[in-house]
Chain A
Amino acid sequence: MSTSTEISAPAGREPTAEVPPPASRPRPGRRTDRVAYLFLLPWFTGLLLLTAAPLLGSLYLSFTKFNLLQSPRWNGFGNYVKMFTDDPRYLQSLKVTFIYVALTVPLQLGFALAVAVMLNRPMRGMALYRSIYYIPSLLGGSVAIAVIWGQLFDDDGVLNAFLAFFGVGGRSWISNPDTALYTLVLLNIWQFGSPMVIFLAGLKQIPQELYDAASVDGANAWRRFWSVTVPLLTPIIFFNVVLQIIQAFQAFTPAYVVSGGSGGPSDSTLFYTLYLYQQGFANLNMGYASAMAWVLLLIIAIFTLINFGLARRWVYYEDR
């Protein structure tokens, strides 16, 4: 690397309300970089050719009745009205999804960050641990997961054997409507590989010099974590929060683990996108499914906007 640089220690940096979100408008006096459009050329092409048309297509379909086999018939706001006035299963799927998002996002990210910090230590064997800890994420929604989760949370599963040791009577956690969803929350926490890797990559961006400087100042590991690691990692934490919320709202495959995709028992794992899929592909109500998709987009967009709004208070960027 030819450029010589110096790094300012984080001590002097303070959070300010002026931190621009990534999409800030050009500041007065700063001219537009014309070369930007060159960099954006592939993306623009993709947007116009591949992304925009399907997006608008599905928006149109959301105002129609469309059974995939005949031409769509205009239905006005019919689908949207039905969703909130005449479809208890839809409301159930909303409820299931919100509970899932609220539990799974903070727990999974907390776990992923803790493990990433642990695996970031310069110790022997870390490469192997990192790979092993990624295995559950490699498995995805495979058939093995369904069987394993059964073995853990069945009436004759490992958890009950453990509880019986303490004299507590168990039950089948995975197929009881009161607990099934929580076993899926656990499953998602267990598959924490992707945010962990992103955290690891972020941790590696933090220059060792900053830790050394903090050590010289007498900060212990805990202090170093809060005064160096966390502030410098906030853009990455922010990324993971935004994306995990999006992905949790779109959770689909975990429901296959307990119910073979039915959303059972008693609709207790009827995730939003699972119900959307059932409507669109099993019942051939693609108009209704499209309307559901756009409502979900709206919900996610609101959460994302709130996230970006809050980010001004806690995310520190180096590029101000």
Chain B
Amino acid sequence: MTTLQHAPAARRRTRRWLTHLALIAGTLIMVYPLLWMVGGSFKDESDIFSQLNPFPSSLDPRSYIAGWTATDPTFTRFYINSMLIAVLAVAGNVIACTLTAYAFARLEFRGKKVFFAIMLSSIMLPAHALLIPQYVLFFHLGWVNTYLPLVVPKFLATDAFFIFLMVQFIRTIPRTLDEAAMIDGCGKVRIFSRIILPLTGPVLITTMIFTFIWTYNDFFSQLIYLSYPSSETVPVALRRFVDATGNSSYGQLLAMSVLSLVPTFIVFLLAQRRIVEGIATTGLKG
């Protein structure tokens, strides 16, 4: 190492290789289950659990075909439903949570402290305890068996996780920016749209990613609120493949599980670039 001290370029290269090495080792740990799932989805039912080797002997897609059409309607319908809910939820969360977060982070109003506490405490109660009162409420609103219980709450900023997340990010933006804009004659609304919004790029993307993935995977409320086969979603349909009363189809389960990861993985892969390219390259250059 001492010789490298005098050769920064070489030292940087070594460090780069070490980083890659560590990251690749980590990669193996991270993707092993995925490998196992993909491998299992091509295996015979009787080999999935009795063989430790994750690699299948052939690439027979029969589990994929059988799994996709095992239900009535097929998974095509479930994907359309899941996507629709997830996209609407993303729109709702991004709009409603930014508005709310801006108010909590930058504006002054009476009862702010109390409201903030109420907002945070709404995520402290375990979901299972809220389920019944919520169901009763949505039932009386006539929303059961529609997508409304899954989508409308997002437009009304009920997801305190993201509000708090955005509050914290907005507070990393120097207030001097607001004050400069104020001197230029901007009101609070203009400050929000001209300064705060453009500068919260990474956290908006984060909110989009998480909302998409978590809504897409949010099995329990979809289970409770959607009853008819035609309105069902991917995670709910997936659960049917494992059944304690027999006739489980593990090959099909794994095949459909692999496919169910595709939308979220693509969303993550595409969106994470935007987090990273976000502000550092364009933002505060002024």
Contacts and interface: CB of A to CB of B under 8 A. Distances in A.
Given A43-B96, A135-B265, A204 B278 contact: yes
B240 interface: no
A96 interface: no
Contact of A204 (B126, B164, B276): B276
B125 A297 contact: yes
Interface of A: 1-8, 22-27, 30-33, 35-37, 39-43, 45-47, 49-51, 53-55, 57-58, 61, 68, 115, 118-121, 123, 125-127, 129-136, 138-140, 142-145, 147-148, 151, 190, 194, 197-198, 200-202, 204-209, 232, 235-236, 238-239, 242-243, 246, 250, 252, 272-273, 276-277, 280-281, 286, 289-290, 292-294, 296-297, 300-301, 304, 317-320
A13 to B, nearest CB: 10
Chain A interface SS verdict (over half): helix
Nearest to B96: A42
B134 interface: yes
Contacts of B171: 22, 235, 317-319
B163 interface: yes
B237 interface: no
A142 B254 CA distance: 10
A23 B113 contact: yes
Chain B interface SS verdict (over half): helix
- The number of chain B residues touching the other chain, given as a range, is 35 or more
A147 B34 CA distance: 12
6 contacts: A2-B194, A3-B184, A51-B158, A68-B132, A130-B272, A301-B121
A207 B165 contact: no
Interface string B117-157: 11111111111111011101100000000000000110111
A289 B128 contact: yes
A21 to B, nearest CB: 8
Contact of A140 (B169, B202, B217): B217
Interface of B: 16, 19-20, 22-23, 26-27, 29-34, 36-37, 40, 49, 52, 95-96, 99-100, 102-110, 112-113, 115-130, 132-134, 136-137, 152-153, 155-158, 161, 163-165, 167-177, 180-181, 184, 187-189, 192, 194-195, 198, 202-203, 205-206, 209-210, 213, 217, 242, 253-254, 257, 261, 264-265, 268-269, 272-273, 275-276, 278-280, 283-284, 286
Contacts of B217: 140
B280 to A, nearest CB: 5
Given A1-B283, A43-B99, A138-B264, 15 more contacts: A23-B117, A47-B118, A57-B137, A115-B26, A123-B16, A131-B269, A132-B27, A135-B261, A136-B30, A144-B36, A200-B275, A273-B128, A293-B128, A319-B106, A319-B174
